[in-house]
Chains A and B, each alone.
Chain A
């Protein structure tokens, strides 16, 4: 069908919204509440446009096109309405942009500039609320919240957690956990999807920057950093590179310049995780253990099981997540090998994730000292690079330090949804048949769909596997497991939709385009790796030979495995 957009005739598909058509035609319509993967809520009203013969203005995000409609996206009435809405928003906003963590990357700030808001047209009372800093991973500042509802929808509809929702009415409306409690007393899984989707500075990660600087400044401490697979494909975005640009070498050199004594690769321990996990899986299958086995590298997902499916905790793999394994080894194997006092080692994990901040504080993960001392997100690393006065674009490409710097393509793909599964199958194949797989790419468990299933024939065994991302997708599978009807042997779960590349600690905002590009780059790293099987990682072989002994052996169990606890949905 044809519609007229600002006097220009253009083509439109029935069922499309005005916003779809306008964006295709290059007309920019501002939105604050719109999320492309959801049905429209029409709450921010900024996408308001004028449709001829229709009394009031209509929201472009929700209004379907019809034949011969005349739409004006830029009339004086529309501009005035949008500007007034922005003025209303800032009238109830702290306006502390100068000291706000989102300054320069804030959607409200951008709109205020775009619409030329130069006066405080409406002044009056401002909503007051206390800042919630009690969560180990996420901080909320309700005063900055513009109630667009993105976080609420993500938390309910994508993550099926529902830790936050709208409360109160009218001017007092706010987004908060039940009964206005703190985020640490409700079943928040700390995934941080609310944070990456927040258009303003109302939701942020709990910063560990200060801890890291203090450790670096303390000459007694031996600060080592490790970098997660998904960080290297996203950090560049913070400095204006194209989404998906691989900046591994710059991440390493930046961390060294910031003051880390050694920089290791979490991909190394991702490979190690595969060895342990594949061993565990085969042992469960062969010895009649708890099947299906669920992966445990996503701490948000682990917390989800602990809160909502505590009866299924025995299905979770006992493997620690890769950065925790690395931390444990740094304070044992590495310390021993290089004669460093483990109490002086300060492990900083650079992660695409907010839940890892919470995970690092779990008492199970560590012995005398925690395995990991601080977790900084991709965003925090970018801030530290800026504070240190480093010109990111002029950084040289440097390599990771040995012995935990070597990694394979299998470790790299941990960053993408389905990657853990793929890497595990590669190694399981080797463990069962003694030879590597011929084709190493599984298209059936790659991609961004929520649930991907595959059947893999390895020797005599037929493995049924599934890879799930976005927590709401796992619920039907978990319910099947509860009923004993699950056909699967092994299920990979990533809390965040799209996996770690779209984690809660990645550059804001999260967009489908960024997600796609980052995922492509992850697989590109795998393709270009000289070795693509975890069991081919020479440093890992050496680690087992010199230190750990057998996979899943006694020492490995002590250092690389953990246990889980059932949690109430609401802490009393």
Chain B
């Protein structure tokens, strides 16, 4: 017995062609139909083996999400296999997704028979022999690599070891949608089934009508996780109420915000959860076909999704008459070519239809007229993960988490100048400070926190003063940012906020689809205004150019307002946000660039001027030799000077001065 696949028990007649409504219940709650003790025991034993409650050989689980792979996880798996072979020792190797602690990859878990599962972090190639020799074979703990132990009974000898949940990174998290990521084998449908998978679907299909499903989601208070925060149930209701022979469901996996990787981690770590949520949503609105619009830059996610869809089809969870409910639904993956604007729902629809990804005006909304002119619901990956959770745990339990207006949990991708880069799931309502300092571990290298960019290029940069804002849709809007899809980019004092705004404007300007004037032309002019701020005097060839620098700032807010007011889609309507929020919170930095021609953070190279401290310089001449453009002059053993006209700001003199005599403004 090595799969729940079809007819593995004598009496079971569930196949994709002859579905049984109790198939899932059988796996979750023991066999439902009258059958032999023998086959009941067989099922039970297989489940326990999968859950690693009762297994014969050690199991080694390697984090093989994109972050793990980037840190060499595939090489490690080969090494482990090799080491096991040398020692002629039998152990199972299972690839899992990312547990979220990307900074500590590669994470290798070991589960010995009868012992709790333990997690090793930052595993390098040189650690493998020790892990195999001492832990897998010897049953010993390598404390220096230990991240934590999964929950274990009090009798266990390893009880004194720190558990995973005690780790500061995990302590304040509430893992619901990420519960399986990094824990189960994402490519095994059996692993997913045995951890309660598809029970939500079974419940929805067997015990509820489509309207019931919508009501349940409404009760749970789920709001779209893609950024806008529109109530999911309301969107579904529109589509359900629209009469049509065909309806479509689209899963938006075109995650494009710089610094966001929530959807990727979900798709790589727990793809069945998303598929389950999609089928439930399709059932609710009466859709017959679905698309997962995933960017082609996520090859691993696409590969896993393909395997997932095939497995779901084989098990009769996709196709006709799903679980005997009479509901037919299938879907396919549509690869996006990487245009950021295709995350906008009408552009995404155009892209699936085979046209250029350009948004169109709404109304009509896709729920009324969407893909191929049919009612279409588009939700983001994380929203579907939440749908599964709602039906797995019940709307009441779900809505108990979070704040009055924002229910449930939210996944954030924490990156930038923060110690614990990774993926975190927190209940709505925790503060940004908790996420950045408690979970994220604060700023590395003893630098000071400066700002956090939330909501990607559509969001805003929030300074220390508002960092105690709870994360929920309304509070974030009130401080000039937005929830967005969940990217949190932390910045320290060495980040220039003008430079940051310029980075996001560059992104938006090049990702604009070019359809509407304010977005296409306006963002370019906004970008140019910012660029002029960080252009040095020397590069301003004429007086007119200096004048333009001031003129730009005078018209900046007018332009930003018009772009926000008149753009066709969300991309343009929020394009000015990074500029406006940094201007609001860091006006002094803008003024320093504009009037004083200096960058307080020292990040805008062109504005730096290098000087030599006459007291400290002893005329050793190292800087003269290092300077690639002969911009430093001075007599031997006497103070040297830097010619600003010639200086190219390469920083070589400052780095190489043995007496710290070179400084910048």
Show the binding face of A for B, using Cβ within 8 Å: 40-46, 48, 56-57, 59, 62-64, 77, 80-81, 84-85, 88-89, 91-92, 121-125, 146-147, 149, 165-166, 168-173
Contact = CB atoms under 8 A, between A and B. Distances in A.
Nearest to B339: A169
Nearest to A56: B565
Given A56-B566, A84-B562, A41 B524 contact: no
Interface in B431-456: none
Contacts of B521: 88-89, 91-92, 122, 171
A447 B562 CA distance: 44
A166 B361 contact: no
Nearest to A92: B521
B512 interface: yes
Contacts of B573: 56
Given A89-B517, A165-B356, A166-B358, A57 B566 contact: yes
B525 A147 contact: no
A125 B532 CA distance: 12
A40 B358 CA distance: 13
B513 A85 contact: no
Closest 9 CB pairs of A and B: A173-B514, A42-B361, A62-B361, A88-B521, A124-B528, A84-B562, A171-B524, A170-B512, A122-B525
Given A166-B358, A171-B521, A81 B566 contact: yes
A77 B561 CA distance: 10
A52 to B, nearest CB: 15
B509 A80 contact: no
Contact of A169 (B514, B548, B559, B564): B514
Contacts of A84: 518, 522, 558-559, 562
Contact of B565 (A46, A57, A88): A57
B510 interface: yes
Contact of B566 (A48, A171, A172): A48
B524 A80 contact: no
Contact of B512 (A40, A91, A124, A171): A171
Contact of B361 (A41, A88, A171): A41
B565 A170 contact: no
Interface string B515-548: 1111011111100100000000000000000001
Contacts of A165: 356
A169 B508 CA distance: 10
A18 to B, nearest CB: 12
A352 B369 CA distance: 40
Contacts of A48: 565-566
B230 interface: no
B611 interface: no
B360 interface: yes
Contact of A125 (B358, B514, B524): B524
Contacts of B363: 63-64
Contacts of B566: 45, 48, 56-57, 81, 85
Contacts of A56: 564-567, 573
A173 B511 CA distance: 10
30 contacts: A41-B360, A41-B515, A45-B567, A48-B565, A48-B566, A56-B564, A56-B565, A56-B567, A57-B565, A62-B361, A77-B565, A81-B562, A84-B559, A84-B562, A91-B525, A121-B555, A122-B559, A123-B548, A124-B528, A125-B528, A147-B514, A166-B358, A169-B513, A170-B509, A170-B524, A171-B509, A171-B514, A172-B510, A172-B514, A173-B520
Interface residues of B, number: 36
B568 interface: yes
Contact of B555 (A44, A81, A122, A170): A122
Contacts of A44: 516-517
B562 A166 contact: no
Given A147-B514, A169-B514, A170-B510, A85 B562 contact: yes
Given A88-B522, A171-B524, A45 B564 contact: no
A144 B203 CA distance: 60
A91 B518 CA distance: 12
Given A42-B568, A45-B566, A122-B559, A85 B524 contact: no
A130 B275 CA distance: 49
Contacts of B341: 169
Contacts of A149: 515
A48 to B, nearest CB: 5
B512 A169 contact: yes
Nearest to B567: A45
A173 B528 CA distance: 17
A124 B514 contact: no
A350 B61 CA distance: 80
Given A56-B573, A122-B555, A170 B525 contact: no
A45 B518 contact: yes
Scoring A81, A124, A125, A170 by chain B CB atoms within 10 A of each residue's CB, the highest score goes to A170
Contacts of A169: 339, 341, 510-514
A92 B524 CA distance: 10
Contacts of B565: 48, 56-57, 77, 81
Contacts of A173: 512-515, 520
B566 to A, nearest CB: 4
Contacts of B517: 43-46, 85, 88-89, 146-147
Contacts of A123: 548, 551
Interface string B332-347: 0000000101000000
A340 B480 CA distance: 82
A170 B559 contact: no
B36 to A, nearest CB: 61
Given A125-B528, A169-B511, A170-B524, A85 B518 contact: yes
A174 to B, nearest CB: 8
Given A45-B568, A169-B512, 17 more contacts: A43-B515, A45-B567, A63-B363, A81-B562, A84-B562, A92-B521, A122-B525, A122-B559, A123-B551, A147-B514, A165-B356, A166-B513, A169-B510, A170-B511, A170-B524, A171-B509, A171-B521
Nearest to B547: A123
B190 to A, nearest CB: 44
A284 to B, nearest CB: 39
B361 A170 contact: no
A147 B524 contact: no
A303 to B, nearest CB: 25
Nearest to B532: A124
B507 to A, nearest CB: 10
A80 B516 contact: no
Nearest to A173: B514
A56 B567 CA distance: 9
Contacts of B567: 45, 56
A172 B566 CA distance: 20
Most buried by B among A40, A165, A172: A172
Given A121-B555, A168-B514, A169-B514, A88 B360 contact: no
Interface in B359-390: 360-361, 363
B525 A124 contact: yes
A306 B648 CA distance: 61
Nearest to B362: A62
Nearest to B515: A43
A45 B519 CA distance: 10
A59 B339 CA distance: 25
Contacts of A170: 509-514, 520, 523-524
Contacts of A77: 565
